[in-house]
Amino acid sequence: MATFVVRRLIASLFILLAATYLMYILTALSGDPLEDLRTSTAPNKEQLIASRTALLHLDVPPYLRYFIWLFGVSKCFIGQCDLGVTVQNQPVNVLLAQAAGSTLQLVTLAALVAVILGIVVGITTALRQYSGYDYGVTFLSFLFFSLPIFWVAVLLKQYTAIGFNDFLYDPQIALWLIPILALLAGVIWMSILPGTGRRRLATFGIAAGVTAAVLVYMQLSNWFTYPHIGIVGIVLTSVGIALGVTAISTGLKRRRALYASLVVAGVGIAVYFPFMLWLSYYLNIGTFVLVAVITVVVSFAIGWFMGGDDRMPVARTAAITGFLVGGIIALDRYLSVWDDYAASDRIKGRPIATIGSATPGLEGSIWIHGIDTFAHLLLPTLALILISFATYTRYTRASLLEVMNQDYIRTARSKGLTERTVVVRHAFRNALIPIATIVAFDIGGIIGGAVITERVFGWVGMGQLFQNGLDHVDPNPVMAFFLVTGGLAILFNLLADLLYAGLDPRIRVS
Amino acid sequence: MSNIPPAIEQPGHHAPGVTDSENSIEAKEVEGLSQGQIVRKRFFRHRGALIAMVALVFIIVLAFTSVGIKFGDVKSGGWWPYTWNIAVDIENAGRPTLSLFPFVIGNHPFGQDEVGRDIFAVVMRGTQQSLMIMVIVGAIATFIGTVIGAIAGYYRGWTDAVLMRFTDVIITIPVIVIGAVLGRRYGIQGAQVLAVILGLVLWTGLARLVRGEFLSLREREFVDAARVAGARDRRIIFRHILPNAIGVIIVNATLLMAAAILIETGLSFLGYGVQAPDTSLGKIISENQGAFSTRPWLFWWPGLFIIAIALCVNFIGDGLRDAFDPRQRRMPTDRALSRARFVGRNA
């Protein structure tokens, strides 16, 4: 395994080297870096040209200039990165450090959401093949494939942001909309969940009823102005999470796993008030992460001690439950500062942002800043995930269908395994192999999409770094951008290879 | 059915979970037909693909006849009274005159921009450019991808290693990034040059797929048979293996064309694609982004045409996939199933 990783790493490094060389040459040759000076009328034109030539080593031909750049980059190994300077004589290191944060945040969130949603929807469509739900999702994913990302981004900016902000100004759900939304929810849940006849009817009734009740409650409690989950909501969702995670992870028949995740949910509910009213006021980003880690570790330990003979699956179930319950409680804490945030003088009651990655000059706790980041990430992330989501859904569906037709699935069924075990353990694990390839391959596409999305939403990120560099025929910022994206692409390909090795024992052997 | 072709009875053709009656429907459908006929028949059965094809043909005819063709010095006028680069008097404050109830086309169905150019003509010209770019990119990328993939997969060893590492290098650079860098230099030379450039970078995915296909096909018996019969490498590659991989190639070529149209519009949006005075669908949107709140139609129509073209091509690709890949075939309808059972019982 170690030799496999090392061999892959070395090969990847050489590929990255070749790709950077290609990019450097192409960028350097894409135009004339002195064009603006040549056409200028400044009296000291010659001097300006000479100084820029000296600054960017323009007297060295590009295929050799690359090695000057590479020498600066190679100093990264001794901790003194030198990515060169831009046309304006700003060090690229500093620019990259400013830009990378917001872009990576955007790309990571979009990729995560798209992968999770895509795989979940893909699985459900494959399991309900040729249902109305399947056809609907298929058509939607074809539509999403065909959407130009900048067009969606502009539409989202114009309609979603402005429309939703107007709605938040006077949050009243129209009365006729409640039954329509309830019926819609009922139909969607009915087509996803299994069963026939009366069971489907029951699903429809419950889903529609719950949706209507939640909407009416939101309306009456002025939810959109003072959003909250509250202790009742926390209890319901925590128990729901415990049941759901256990059902998927080990099956409800494993009593120990069920009890362990219920205990974890109970602990979550017990610390709710201390957390909301006391602990959360003392957190900063570092301690927040620490609390999250402690949550998962404690949940894992609870599972471990309650696990009995076969501890690992129980501990895993408890850890996932703990993570999700913690997430819900944190979400409630974020929501509790929503009205302060929306009413603050920086926001002026229009919380969904269309420009930039953070509100300048905003002061407040990490919760306020978290909400602010979320409000800025919402639209670009939506624009980015639509397209990747469609790809992942289609591939997951195709891959799972292919696996479900294999002989070993029939064998698994015929030896009496439950449907959950067949789908989760036998089918899904194998279906993941092609999906891993697609996700690794697609990460470059998400970054490319981010370049366009950032421009529409006015983010100061790596897309802007790239575009400014390219407009000035300045290879240094372009290469800084490419070092990050190319490095990410290679890293993800490596991760995909490792994932294969984890999923498919045959690859590990050879 | 007593005369089921023997091929159906072979293991591997008998898909697990498929009952005999389903297989006999399949057998009856393909009986006595050539490969091309089977594919055509399956393709026409895919309703989405059929509708998409009609719609695409309509768009192509509309785009090329309405404002005429201008290719270098060759020019021909169209039946539409306005052209895409000449401004006329603004009517109706530039609003679209198209309405469905009552159905009126009017002088400027898609409206006018602030200088008075007819948006229908502009969108048609943009559609022409985008379609042309799509076809050129598709042709070049498919050709390069097929050749590189075929050579790498057939010869294996060093050839394979070198070609695939080269492919890896290109794949590492996001398409929009390398497209922007190349488009900045070559976009100014016109849409055709841009299309060629895009074709030169978009072949990588197809090359990997074709290589995989060749790697498995070259081990099959019919290739051994051809080699024993004395066929040269070139003949084996082009006459024996390639026809068997044609399904993968065609399907992915269509998907590639759908991707190409989106990449071109994205590049034009960023300013590295088609350059003024020429226009493309992405460029129209990019130019009119700021005018969204005052003249939204400048934004709606080009976007709708991009989506329509990409959606049609994607659906056609899906139909071709179903047609070429019998594993992903449709489920027979209940009626067809019961009829097949009935026929099977009486045989």
pLDDT digits (tens, 9 = 90+) for A143-157: 988 888 888 888 888
Region A34-44: what's the mean pLDDT? Answer: 77
Higher pLDDT, A378 or A89: A378
Dihedral angle sign, alpha carbons of residues A121, A122, A124, A125: positive
Indicate if the pLDDT at residue A76 is higher than 50.
Answer: yes
Contact indicator for A259, A251 with CB cutoff of 8 Å: no
Summarize the confidence of residues A398-413 as an average pLDDT: 89
Q: With 0-12 CB in 10 A as exposed, 13-18 as middle and 19+ as buried, what is B210?
A: buried
pLDDT at A176: 82
pLDDT digits (tens, 9 = 90+) for B21-38: 555 666 666 677 787 888
Confidence of residue A77 (pLDDT cuts 50, 70, 90): confident
Question: Looking at the predicted structure, is the pLDDT value of residue B347 above 80?
Answer: no
Question: CB distance from A146 to chain B under 8 Å?
Answer: yes
> Token match 């490596």: residue?
A494
The whole-number pLDDT of residue B342 equals 62
* Three-state secondary-structure class, residue B86: coil
Least CA distance to B184: which residue of chain A? A30
Total-model pTM: 0.82
Which of B268, B309, B304 is closest to B120 using CA atoms?
Answer: B304
Give the three-state DSSP class for A148: coil
Q: Which of A353, A343, A350 is nearest to A375 (CA)?
A: A353
CA atoms of A256 and A314, how far apart (whole Å): 7
Q: Is the CB of A40 inside 8 Å of chain B's CB atoms?
A: no
Q: What angle in degrees, to the nearest 10, is found between the helix axes of A255-270 and A230-249? A: 160
Of the listed ranges A346-355, B120-129, B168-177, the least confidently predicted one is A346-355
The mean pLDDT of chain B is 80
The tokens describing B212, both together, are 């995989």
Q: What average pLDDT does the segment A157-186 reach?
A: 82
CB B340 within 8 A of CB B25: yes
Burial A477-505 (b: 16+ CB within 10 A, else e): bbbbbbbbbbebbbebbbebbbbbbeeee
Q: Which helix (H) or strand (E) holds B227?
A: helix B221-228
What is the reported pLDDT for B336?
Answer: 59
Is 90 exceeded by the pLDDT of residue B140? yes
B12 pLDDT above the threshold of 60: no
Phi, psi (degrees; rounded to nearest 5) at A176: -70, -20
Q: How far apart are CA A55 and CA A87, in angstroms?
A: 8
Give the gap in angstroms from C-alpha A26 to the nearest C-alpha of chain B: 7
Decide: B139 and B199 in contact? Cβ < 8 Å: yes
**Which DSSP category does B176 fall into?**
H
In 3-state terms, what secondary structure has residue B69? strand
Percentage of chain A with pLDDT > 70? 98
Residue A489: which of B16, B172, B262 has the nearest Cβ? B172
Instruction: Compute the distance between CA of residue B236 and CA of residue B222 in angstroms, rounded to an integer.
Output: 10
- CB contact under 8 Å between A146 and B258, yes or no, is yes
Confidence of residue A117 (pLDDT cuts 50, 70, 90): very high
Residue A171 in this model has a pLDDT that exceeds 50? yes
pLDDT for the residue numbered A325: 93
Read off the tokens for B228. 């024993």
Per-residue pLDDT, averaged over A275-300, amounts to 88
Pair B85, B117: CB distance under 8 Å: yes
Three-state SS string over A236-269 comes to HHHHHHHHHHHHHHCCCCCHHHHHHHHHHHHHHH
pLDDT at residue number B345: 56
- For residue B102, say if its preceding peptide bond is cis, omega within 30 degrees of 0: yes
The reply to whether residue B181 touches residue A130, judged by beta carbons under 8 angstroms, is no
Give pLDDT, residue B4. Answer: 39
Distance from CA of B117 to the nearest CA of A (A): 22
Amino acid at B4: I
pLDDT tens track for B62-92: 888 887 777 666 677 777 777 777 777 777 7
The confidence score (pLDDT) of residue B24 equals 60
Which residues from chain A sit within 8 angstroms of residue B174, using beta carbons? 444-445, 447-448, 485, 489
Q: Residue B11 has what pLDDT?
A: 41
Question: What's the average model confidence in pLDDT over B253-261?
Answer: 88
- Give me the half-sphere count of Cα atoms (radius 13 Å) on the Cβ side of residue A496: 19
Q: Residue A91 forms beta bridges with which residues? A: A85
CA nearest neighbour of A274 among A286, A290, A291: A291
Q: Is B54 on the interface with A (CB under 8 A)?
A: no
Tokens at B208, concatenated:
């990997």
What does the angle CA A187 – CA A237 – CA A184 come to, to the nearest 5 degrees? 15
Nearest CA in chain B to A447: B174
Calculate mean pLDDT across residues A302-323.
89
Q: Which residues are B69's β-sheet partners? A: B76
Is residue B234 within 8 A of residue B293, CB to CB? The reply is: no
Q: Which amino acid is at A339?
A: D
A190 CB-near residues (< 8 Å, 6+ apart): A200, A201, A203, A204, A207
Comparing B95 with A184, the larger pLDDT belongs to: A184
**pLDDT for the residue numbered B33:** 79
Q: Which of A318, A361, A124, A321 is nearest to A237 (CA)?
A: A321
**What mean pLDDT comes out for the span B13-24?**
50
Asked if A311 and A303 count as a contact pair (C-beta separation under 8 A), the reply is yes
- Shortest Cα distance from A401 to chain B (angstroms)? 9
Question: How do residues A324-372 score in pLDDT, each as one tens digit?
Answer: 999 999 998 888 888 888 777 777 777 777 777 777 777 777 888 888 8
Residue A147 Cα, gap to closest chain B Cα (Å): 6
Record: contact A142-B314, CB cut-off 8 A? yes
pLDDT, one tens digit per residue, over B308-343 is 999 999 889 888 887 887 555 455 555 555 666 666
Convert A305-333 to b/e letters by CB count within 10 Å (16 or more is b).
ebbeeebebbbbbbbbbbbbbbebbbebb
Q: Which residues of B touch A29 (CB under 8 A)?
A: 185
The pLDDT assigned to B284 comes to 84
A65-79, A241-255, B67-81: segment of lowest average pLDDT: B67-81
Q: What confidence score (pLDDT) does residue B1 get?
A: 35
- Quick one: average pLDDT of A376-395? 87
Q: A46 is written with which tokens? A: 């010659």
**A9-18, A435-444, B148-157: range with lowest mean pLDDT:** A435-444
d(CA A353, CA A367) in angstroms, rounded, equals: 17
**Average pLDDT, integer, range A34-58:** 79
> Which of these, A473, A458, A510, A494, lies nearest to A161 by C-alpha position?
A458
- Quick one: CA dihedral A338, A339, A343, A345, positive or negative? negative
Alpha carbon separation from B113 to A442, B104, B294 (Å, rounded): 37, 20, 10
Q: Is A405–B15 a contact, with Cβ atoms under 8 angstroms apart?
A: yes
Instruction: Give the model confidence (pLDDT) of B269-301 as tens digits.
Output: 888 888 877 788 888 888 877 777 777 878 888
What DSSP line would sit under B270-325, residue for residue? Answer: HTSSS-TTS--HHHHHHHHGGGTTT-THHHHHHHHHHHHHHHHHHHHHHHHHHHH-
pLDDT at A197 over 80: no
